[in-house]
Amino acid sequence: MEMVTKILATTNEVSLKGRNRKWFEQKITENVRRVLADLQLERVERPAWRVLVTFSAPVPFQEAARRMATVFGIASIMPVENVGHTTDDVISALPQRLEGLNPSSFAVRCLRSDKTFPKTSIELERDLGSEVVALTGWKVDLTHPDLTVHLLVDRDGLYLWTRRVAGPGGLPSGSGGKATCMLSGGIDSPVAAYQMMKRGVRLDFVHFHSVPRTDPASLEKVVDLARILARYQGRCRLAMVPLLPIQEQIVANCPARLRVLLYRRFMIRISQRLASRFKAPALVTGESLGQVASQTIENLTAVESIARVPIFRPLISLDKQEIINTARRMGSFETSILPHFDCCSFLVPERPATRSTPRELDKAEESLDIDSLISEALAGVEIMTIDEPAPWSDIPIPHGAEDLS
Ligand code: ATP
Ligand code: MG
């Protein structure tokens, strides 16, 4: 097991943000502190637009890297060592650092954030390169090296590293505003949530259930999914909404082929009311074009014509397999595939409409008292706060850290 006392992380896209850069870096720092707090964390600093984490005692690198891979805005995660202040210090640290490695070729890359250092980056790369050749006999390849030996020259010392673990990319949580995600118990909506969080959006969640027609135990699964998502942003809210009375009215009064579309309209109407309560006035769904009858362009359009807030559908163009790949990577897949009884999986007609229109749905709703159905549902809402601080037992291992357990 590789133990470390320092980790350096690079940040993603943040350099593009000009004036906001400081704020972005600060958000990332806060989030790194949040996920590492109980792990002998000593301090988090920001040399040269990077994030430098120092632990008060050695910690397993893989555990720290897994946690840091939940912090959006981080591009890569490296176990680094402060080897001293002079070129000679670096040279004496090389044998231990390169031990056990056997690359087909290598290059040295140097980053000099301390411009007062007596050697330029190019001089340092050349000097260290020839030291490595003398030490190991490895072949130099500056264009496609198998291994890169990195050196950061910072004011508080020289940092050396060779391993690089992929971060999640994206933008720091909170930098992209707020939205409310309609969370079912399935595979898709947690992935939609993850994708929006990745762009810096903070989310609260709404779930519709048909208790007592469905098992109250199925609500546990949705809470578990919200807990998994909370790892990526910290605390969030989850509203549980009773949909059964509305479904019964729709079944009794409206054409069977439009049922699912009408359920969805009510979900949107209620979600946007909750979204305004959460001060997160945009909706997110896990819909993907053509996946089921309710997700044709015509039906999505007919359903959303009653929406008063924007609806984001980050999965609209993705294949199921692509969605599943992300679900595995972010850790929701195993929970999503547990059996559950979705509120839409009963009272569903055999031949649902595939091409509805706003007008057709408006007409089908004429016999319903929409406002009082919404008020009744809102009166039965239960809102819970979900928080899931580290440690987490089952978070995925990021790419590049697989061999470290
Ligand atoms: P998922 O895998 O997320 O359940 P799905 O492929 O089963 O999605 P639908 O059941 O048609 O698709 O739902 C489409 C979207 O509508 C979901 O991704 C989710 O955003 C929202 N939705 C569906 N059912 C519910 C529910 N019970 N509570 C909250 N949102 C829901
Ligand atoms: Mg579903």
Domain ranges of the chain: 3-166, 178-394
Select from 3, 49, 15 the least CA-distant residue to 29.
49
Here the tokens at position 95 are 């044998």
Q: From ligand 2's centre to the CA of 282, what distance in Å?
A: 20
In the CATH hierarchy, which fold is given to the domain comprising 178-394?
Answer: Rossmann fold (3.40.50)
Q: From ligand 1's centre to the CA of 189, what distance in Å?
A: 6
Q: Is 186 in the pocket of ligand 1 (CB under 6 A)?
A: yes
Ligand nearest to the CA of 186: 1
Helices assigned H by DSSP within 151-296: 188-198, 217-230, 244-253, 259-277
Q: From ligand 2's centre to the CA of 88, what distance in Å?
A: 61
Q: Tell me, what's the pLDDT at 112?
A: 87
Q: Is 113 in the pocket of ligand 1 (CB under 6 A)?
A: no
Q: Which residues surround ligand 2, an ion (CB under 5 A)?
A: 184, 186
According to DSSP, the residues that pair with 394 across neighbouring strands are none
In the chain, the percentage of residues whose pLDDT exceeds 90 is 78
**Distance of alpha carbon 195 from alpha carbon 233, whole angstroms:** 12
Q: Tell me, what's the pLDDT at 401?
A: 81
Residue 352 has pLDDT above 60, yes or no: yes
- Mean pLDDT of the chain, nearest integer: 92
What DSSP character marks residue 37? T
Select from 227, 371, 354, 212 the least CA-distant residue to 295.
354
Residues 266-293: tens digit of each pLDDT = 999 999 999 999 999 999 999 999 888 8
Residues 110-120: tens digit of each pLDDT = 988 888 999 99
Q: Tell me, what's the pLDDT at 385?
A: 98
- Helix, strand, coil percentages (3-state) for the chain, rounded to 5, are 40, 20, 40
**Distance of alpha carbon 49 from alpha carbon 47, whole angstroms:** 6
Q: Is 184 in the pocket of ligand 1 (CB under 6 A)?
A: yes
Q: Position of tokens 């209620």?
A: 270
Here the tokens at position 184 are 């079912």
Q: From ligand 2's centre to the CA of 371, what distance in Å?
A: 25
What DSSP character marks residue 294? G
Sheet with 311-312: strands ordered across: 311-312, 283-284, 178-182, 202-209, 236-242, 382-386
What DSSP character marks residue 117? S
Q: Is 291 in the pocket of ligand 1 (CB under 6 A)?
A: yes
Region 188-216: mean pLDDT is: 95
- Ligand 1 pocket test: pick from 180, 183, 184 the residue with the most ligand atoms within 8 Å of its Cβ: 184
Q: From ligand 2's centre to the CA of 344, what distance in Å?
A: 7
Domain spanning 3-166, CATH architecture? 2-Layer Sandwich (3.30)
Three-state SS at 55:
strand
- Ligand 1 pocket test: pick from 189, 241, 268, 313 the residue with the most ligand atoms within 8 Å of its Cβ: 189
Q: From ligand 2's centre to the CA of 227, what distance in Å?
A: 18
Residues 6-39: tens digit of each pLDDT = 999 998 865 555 667 788 888 899 999 999 999 9
Residue with CA closest to ligand 1 atom 25: 184
Look up the pTM and report it: 0.92
Q: From ligand 2's centre to the CA of 209, what distance in Å?
A: 11
Q: Is 303 in the pocket of ligand 1 (CB under 6 A)?
A: no
Q: What is the DSSP secondary-structure string of 148-170?
A: EEEEEEETTEEEEE---EE---S
